Amino acid sequence: MQALTPAAAAIELRGIEKSFGSVHAVRGVSLRIEAGTITGIVGENGAGKSTLMSILYGLYRADAGEIWVDGRLVEMASPRDAIAHGIGMVHQHFMLIDTFTVLENMVLGAEGGVLLAGGLAAARAELARLARDYGLSVDPDARIADLSVGEQQRVEILKVLFRGARILILDEPSAVLTPQETDRLFRILQTLKERGVSVVLITHKLREIMAATDRVYVMRQGLVVVERRTADTNSEELAELMVGRKVHLDLDKAPTRWGEVLLRAEHLSLVDDRGVRLLDDVELELRAGEIVGIAGVTGNGQSELLQVLAGIRPPSGGQLTVCGHVLDAHHPGNPAQMRALGLAHVPEDRLRQGMVAAFEASETSILGYQDGPPFTRHYLLDGPAVGAHCARLMESFDVRPRSPALRSSNFSGGNQQKLVLAREIARKPKVLLVGQPTRGVDIGAIEFIHRELVKARDAGCAVLVVSVELDEILSLADRILVMFAGRIVGEVEPGRADERTLGLMMAGADAA
């Protein structure tokens, strides 16, 4: 790689190596972050982006390689070193303490004295200055738990600036934001860049790379496969480089043939034991032969809706009709009953709800359907029958490796998801609920999973997809419902929907 400018880079990594056990996560990566630019690092889940940045931030130690900051070789033994060298990181999962105020979170680790009072006052003044200079305003005395996700992210950025960072690393910053909040974030990043801060943006969303960065590195399987000026490339090329082959980002779908209503929710509500209303008067109809997509920012009731529809949590009010069978708060269903009615559920958290990670793949492949024939006879599991069933599922859903005896946790995210999906679809359900169908799944598997969902739809199944990925909703769904604050705030046809209107609805702007 040639040096681009004679001046020293803000950061230069040389030959970074890192393995976790037998997994070689980062293989000899070298890259340069020029001062005062926005550099993107793009790659699929598991490509090694986050590991690389954790090494740069001192959270992990590299097995080999050098880190240079402003032309000097440095040792990153802990985040303390990284902070001392002016590197700050905004993690994908925020490093904020829910019960603390904004101010308390800001000063943690940089209190400026044994007693808090002085440090907090100084931080308050500094916060006001940062708010002025960068247009980043938050209430210093608000508790983190009371802030929106976008505001929490602003606190994270402020925290980093408060420590005087000149290099800002953002790990998948848009994962939890609406499109508008993402735009706002990118404007903030531009401001930071103009003030001389170097920004590193880690993402798997190509659109964001194209919109926000000056230069991009593509990572695949722990390697940097290419480096480009953003102006000299495009999404298609980057996608191909990320995956290593041509990918079809759009999906061919036959026209919808709507059938009878298989699932109907009327005035469905859910109140938790602290009195918080998680679902509020939800009305929903799901017909045979359609895919309904539920869009929304994480935490607006989508998870709870799935749990209620799947019979995991009883509703607090309203009624639910599944394939002609009526359920309500007094006669709640349970997952087994729902399954018997012909409803299948691919949970959003496959590791905790979709499978038992320590179980063999063959056991995962019958989870929920294990009682009775063909898998159980006289209270005993029929091992060979289960194994054969799993092998069939693996064959038809291309789960790799094809080893029914392998522990579920040893499969990649994409293959785990395919196995869970195979288990649910194999029963030819009438209603299929799918939460985050492609979370933590590589692009190749995404294509496959999307095609299988469309196939199920074409076979007359009523499919409900909940996803935080708007692209996914837009390409899969025949109808789009938007959830905000536990309510369904609107319905959109995919043909007429664009990200802007959806984003506004997701932020509750159209709620009235």
Partner 1 sequence: MDEAFSFVFLMLASTLRVATPLVLCAMGGLFSEKGGIVDVGLEGKMLMAAFFAAATASVTGSAWAGVAAAIIAAEALALLHGLACITYRGNQVVSGVAINILAAGLTVVLGAAWFARGGQTPPLVGDQRLAPLFLPGAGDNILVYAALLSVPLTWWIIARTRFGLRLRAVGEMPLAVDAAGLSVAWLRYRAVLLCGLLAGLAGAYLSIGQNAGFSRDMTAGQGFIALAAIIFGKWRPLPALGACLIFGLLDAMAIRLQGVRVPGLGEVPVQLIQAMPYLLTMFLLAGFIGRAVAPKAAGVPYEKEH
Summarize as ranges the residues that interact with partner 1 (CB under 8 A): 20, 57, 59-60, 78-84, 89, 91, 95-100, 104-105, 107-111, 113-117, 119, 274
Q: How many CA atoms lie within 13 A of 132 on its CB side?
A: 6
Name which of 117 and 254 has its Cβ closer to partner 1. Answer: 117
For the sheet with 38-43, list strands across it: 87-90, 167-171, 198-203, 38-43, 215-220, 223-229
Tell the smallest beta-carbon distance from residue 349 to partner 1 (Å). 17
Sequence-separated (6 or more) residues with CB below 8 Å from residue 99: 143, 144, 145
Name which of 60 and 186 has its Cβ closer to partner 1. Answer: 60
Name which of 60 and 484 has its Cβ closer to partner 1. Answer: 60
User: Which neighbouring-strand residues pair with 87?
Assistant: 167
Tell the smallest beta-carbon distance from residue 122 to partner 1 (Å). 13
Name which of 114 and 125 has its Cβ closer to partner 1. Answer: 114
CA distance 373 to 381: 9
Tell the smallest beta-carbon distance from residue 60 to partner 1 (Å). 7
3-class DSSP assignment, residue 57? coil
Tell the smallest beta-carbon distance from residue 85 to partner 1 (Å). 11
Tell the smallest beta-carbon distance from residue 264 to partner 1 (Å). 35
CA distance 430 to 341: 8
**Inter-residue contact 173 to 135 (CB < 8 Å):** no
Name which of 80 and 245 has its Cβ closer to partner 1. Answer: 80
Tell the smallest beta-carbon distance from residue 275 to partner 1 (Å). 11
**Helical pair 179-194 and 499-506, crossing angle rounded to 10 deg:** 100
Tell the smallest beta-carbon distance from residue 97 to partner 1 (Å). 5
CA distance 10 to 205: 24
Tell the smallest beta-carbon distance from residue 161 to partner 1 (Å). 14
Tokens of 490: 């609107």
* DSSP per-residue string spanning 260-287: -EEEEEEEEEEE-TT--EEEEEEEEEEE
Name which of 97 and 459 has its Cβ closer to partner 1. Answer: 97
Query: In the block, which residue shows the tokens 């802990």?
Result: 78
Is the peptide bond preceding residue 173 cis, with omega within 30 degrees of 0? no
Radius of gyration of the chain (CA): 25
Name which of 22 and 99 has its Cβ closer to partner 1. Answer: 99
Name which of 144 and 425 has its Cβ closer to partner 1. Answer: 144
